[in-house]
Amino acid sequence: MDLAFVTGHGPKLLTNLEGLEPIVRAEDVVAFAYRDHDDQKKYGSQPLPAELKAIDLPAVRKLGIEVAAREAVAHLTRPGLDGFFIHVDADCLDDAVMPAVDSRLPGGLSLEELATALQIALKSSHAIGLEVAIYNPNLDEDGSAGRALAGVLKEALRPAAPSA
């Protein structure tokens, strides 16, 4: 996983190189709405570093999407941090709306939940970039999953309406 590499928690062969520092400190990361706990155990993945802020999907459900997203942004905008980058894996979405991914899991965020979380994050002046990964157009015969994902991004990136 890319997150493991950039935080220096990937395979030792790639992360334990003399003089190589992690690109991002684990304490400056939020893993948000992940739900692959069983796959992590099955494939022997390393656990998330204790210092990394983790808000898994059950916690997001318990808190509500808005509260959870605001908690994540608060962590990423605390003093000492200049900005944050947003990485979205398309497989964070519910399998029913995003089947165009290589590793499908039941459950996940709704399109509306992802749009809300992104809107909250992107309202921050500290948000400096956004990337979307994992979407596989070869698994999207009619393009509907891609259009749905593009719709979420369009909604999230829409400028706020001016106040009256």
Residue 100 counted as domain residue = yes
In this prediction, what percent of the chain has a pLDDT beyond 70? 86
Asked whether residue 43 carries a pLDDT value surpassing 70, the answer given is: no
Residue 164 counted as domain residue = no
Length of the chain: 164
Asked whether residue 38 carries a pLDDT value surpassing 80, the answer given is: no
Residue 162 counted as domain residue = no
Residue 85 counted as domain residue = yes
pTM metric for this prediction: 0.88
Alpha helices in the chain (DSSP H): 2-6, 12-15, 37-42, 57-63, 65-76, 111-123, 144-157
Structural domain that includes position 113 = 2-157
CATH at residue 33: 3.40.800.10
Buried residues in 56-77 as b, exposed as e (16+ CB within 10 A): bbeebeeeebeebbbbbbebbb
